Every structure is written in structure tokens, then in C-alpha cells.
Amino acid sequence: MNVKSMLVGLLIAVVASTGTYFIRLLLAVTLSLSFVKVAASGAGNRIDIVYPKGAPYIASGFHSMSGINGFWRTNKHQGIDITGDNGQPIIAAADGKVLDAEVENCWGPTVSIDHGEGLDGRNIIALYGHVGEILVNEGEEIKRGQIIARLGDNHYDYKCIYRVRHLHFQIGRIWNVMKNFGRGHKYFLEDGDDGVNPHIYWADGPGMITCFDPKRTYKPGTLTYPVPCQ
């Protein structure tokens, strides 16, 4: 048994005996970092996630069953969750056009951006959900690294944020232009229940989380991290 497995086992035991929020959240982070699957490739393959120096860690990973609040999910997570302080900048993961900049009843303030085609030739529509302040407008053309929103103190105001301030970053293919069904991600994406693993699109390669650097030139069809790195 390796150290990571021992740590997970220990945390599970502590959760069972204490049930404290902090330990549940720590467990969620550990599990999320330990078990990230590549949904886009099928065949149950896995991808190792590599964090560059200064990159905030993902608190609830793609397809994780551990919620941002430390509780077990009823369905697989369709995006990635990154916690942050009040006022934390949220930055565009690539050039694109703002499709939505509005407040959804469950998700709260959310920005959706059409980032065009990925390296695989398929659409990349990104949701930047659970933010506090929206800084862009529908129809606006934006650039990679541009601050499009900030986290706020509204994490107790919307059910889907689950009382933990964080960004929910999700990739889909089909924009729900009519807004005639669903809530949360399904309000913005017709395929909201079939999220695309963002880890396949990082500019430095699959699984290689890429911090935005204004001095770099990035290949079209790739993504950079939606929050600044330290």
C-alpha cells in the first residue's frame, strides 16, 4: 500500500468517527486528485494531473464523486472546482465570445464562452460558474487571460454553490440557446450532463495544467488555467 492509499484510508476512518466539515473537505480534495478519469477518450483510461508551481489545486475533480462540500455526490462531477478567496480573479481560458453573462437560479452568476474549436476540431464551450461579480457582457469578444469575473461572498445564496466559495469550470459542446429546460449546467449547455474533460486541452499537453503567462504565445484550440497562478 502506497502513502497516498494510506492517507485516503486514514481520512475515511477519521470521517467515519468525526464527520467534521474540514476533514470531509480534505478527503474530497485527496480523492479528487487521486482519481481523475479521461472521459473523452473512453475505454476507462486515466490521466495523471501535473500542477505547475503556484497553480491552485482542484478541490473536486472531473468525474469525481466527492463534492466540494465534502459529501458524496449522486452523479459524476461534470467539471472541476477550484476554491478561492473573495475577489479571486477568474480569467478566460482562451480567446472567445461571451454567450451568457447572467445569474442562474441555482448556479448563481455564470459566464459561458464559446472558445471555438479545440485541437481535436470539436467545439469548446466553457462555463465559468458560481462567480460573484461578472465583468463581461453577452456578445463581447474576449482574450485569453482576460479577467472575466471574480469570486464573491455569495456562496450561501445559491444552492448549487454548496456554501463553499469556488469556481466551477466545465466544458461542453452544445450551447442551450433557447434556455427552455434544465437548471445549472443544463440551463447553459444541452450536453451539460455529458461534460468534457478539460485536462485533455491544456496548452502544455494532456494533464499538464498550464498557467496563463502573458509573455507566451499559445496554440489555438488549447486552454490555460481559468484562475491565476502565484
pLDDT the model gives residue 46: 77
Cell numbers 478541490: residue: 59
3-state secondary structure of 41: coil
Average pLDDT, the chain: 85
**Closest CA relative to residue 147, chosen from 76, 97, 188, 90:** 90
Please give the torsion angle defined by the CA atoms of residues 189, 190, 195 and 196, in that order, rounded to the nearest 10 degrees. -90
**Closest CA relative to residue 209, chosen from 45, 29, 49:** 49
Start-end of H helices in 19-149:
21-34
Cα–Cα separations (whole angstroms), residue 130 to 57, 133, 152, 160, 227: 17, 9, 9, 8, 13
Please state, in angstroms and rounded to a whole number, the distance separating the CA atoms of residues 193 and 171: 11
State yes or no: pLDDT of 172 exceeds 90: yes
Share of the chain above pLDDT 90, in %: 77
The architecture (CATH level 2) of 35-200 comes to Distorted Sandwich (2.70)
b/e burial code for range 71-105 (CB count within 10 A of at least 16 → b)? eeeeeebbbbbbbbeeebbbbbbbbbebbbbeebe
Q: Which of the four pLDDT bands, split at 50, 70 and 90, describes residue 212?
A: very high
pLDDT the model gives residue 11: 43
DSSP state of 29: H
Least confident of 25-39, 107-121, 169-183: 25-39
Q: Which of the four pLDDT bands, split at 50, 70 and 90, describes residue 42?
A: very low
Contact 31, 8 (CB under 8 A): yes
Cell of 25: 473537505
State yes or no: pLDDT of 26 exceeds 80: no
pLDDT the model gives residue 90: 98
Tell me the pTM: 0.81
Residue with the larger pLDDT of the pair 181 and 1 = 181
Phi-psi sector, 42: left (phi>0), alpha (psi -120 to 50), beta: left
Residue 218 burial (C-beta neighbours within 10 Å; 0-12, 13-18, 19+): middle
State yes or no: pLDDT of 24 exceeds 80: no
3-state secondary structure of 118: coil
Cell of 99: 454567450
Side chain identity at 70, as an amino acid letter?
G
Q: Which of the four pLDDT bands, split at 50, 70 and 90, describes residue 181?
A: confident
Residue with the larger pLDDT of the pair 115 and 19 = 115
Q: Please name every residue paired with 126 in a beta bridge, in sequence order, or none if there are none.
A: 113, 171
The domain spans of the chain are: 35-200
